[in-house]
Amino acid sequence: MKKKDDGQRLLFLSALFMLVHFTAISLYTYLFQGEMAEYYLLPVFVFFFISLSQTLIKLPKYLLWLSLIFFAYINIQPLMTAENPYGLNAKKKAVKTALAAIDTLSFSLESFQTCWYSGGYRYLFTRAGREPVRSYMDQYLSEYYTPDPNKETDRELIILTPELVGENPAGYEAYRRQVISTSEHLGTFGAMEVYLR
């Protein structure tokens, strides 16, 4: 009997904490014009799972196991089918295609974006055995290698990496149109477009 009372008390205290916590956050956000940040809800996680476990423990064992298997299935499925449009596999395919098109010619590597998700290409070319003479990342990472800014290149390889969330930087669309009109399109890999001129 005591175990049942402890479970009920725990469920009540957890629910009370969550209610007080949400009320306090709501007051802070709406009454005092505070910022509603996700991390304010972190303390609730513990009590949410305590409440959930106290509720689920009352279910018959077979129903509990079926629920657990179903929950695992619906959460594993998206994980296994997830794809990153700027992932390593897409970048490797882009590099392989570009190197096949460039053949043995010297090349420079250019991009409008300088964000780090579009910054890993130079090293992939190096790893593939063909380092660009110049790169759009030289200004940030040239301490690790010695680019030759005066050396002429035979071809220019351009990688376009649009923003997936939010707006592209100012000037990106004009740059993209100019690249498309003056360059050969080698392919699209994930969200990345590769051009050669």
pLDDT band with cut points at 50, 70 and 90 for residue 150: confident
> How many alpha carbons fall within 13 Å on the CB side of residue 129?
6
Q: Which is more confident, 142 or 89? A: 89
Residues 165, 98: one domain?
Answer: yes
pLDDT of the residue at 4: 65
Residues 105, 20: one domain?
Answer: no
pLDDT of the residue at 107: 93
Domain that holds residue 143: 88-196
The number of domains in the chain is 2
Measure the CA–CA gap between 172 and 168, rounded to whole angstroms.
6
Measure the CA–CA gap between 161 and 192, rounded to whole angstroms.
5
pLDDT at 88 over 60: yes
Measure the CA–CA gap between 171 and 174, rounded to whole angstroms.
5
Is the backbone of residue 103 left (phi > 0), alpha (psi -120 to 50) or beta?
Answer: left
Residues 100, 169: one domain?
Answer: yes
Domain boundary among 62, 81, 100: 81
Residues 118, 165: one domain?
Answer: yes
Residues 98, 147: one domain?
Answer: yes
What separation in angstroms does the CA of 12 have from each of 47, 48, 52, 107? Answer: 10, 11, 12, 68
Residues 60, 116: one domain?
Answer: no
Residues 142, 120: one domain?
Answer: yes
* DSSP bridge pairs for 16: none
User: DSSP readout, 93-151?
Assistant: HHHHHHHHHHTT--EEEE-S--SGGGS-HHHHHHHTT---SEETTHHHHGGGS---TTS
Parallel, antiparallel or unpaired: strands 107-110 and 134-135: parallel
**pTM, rounded to two decimals:** 0.62
> SS3 breakdown of the chain: % helix, strand, coil, rounded to 5?
55, 10, 30
Q: Which is more confident, 35 or 103? A: 103
**Mean pLDDT (whole number) for 179-183:** 93
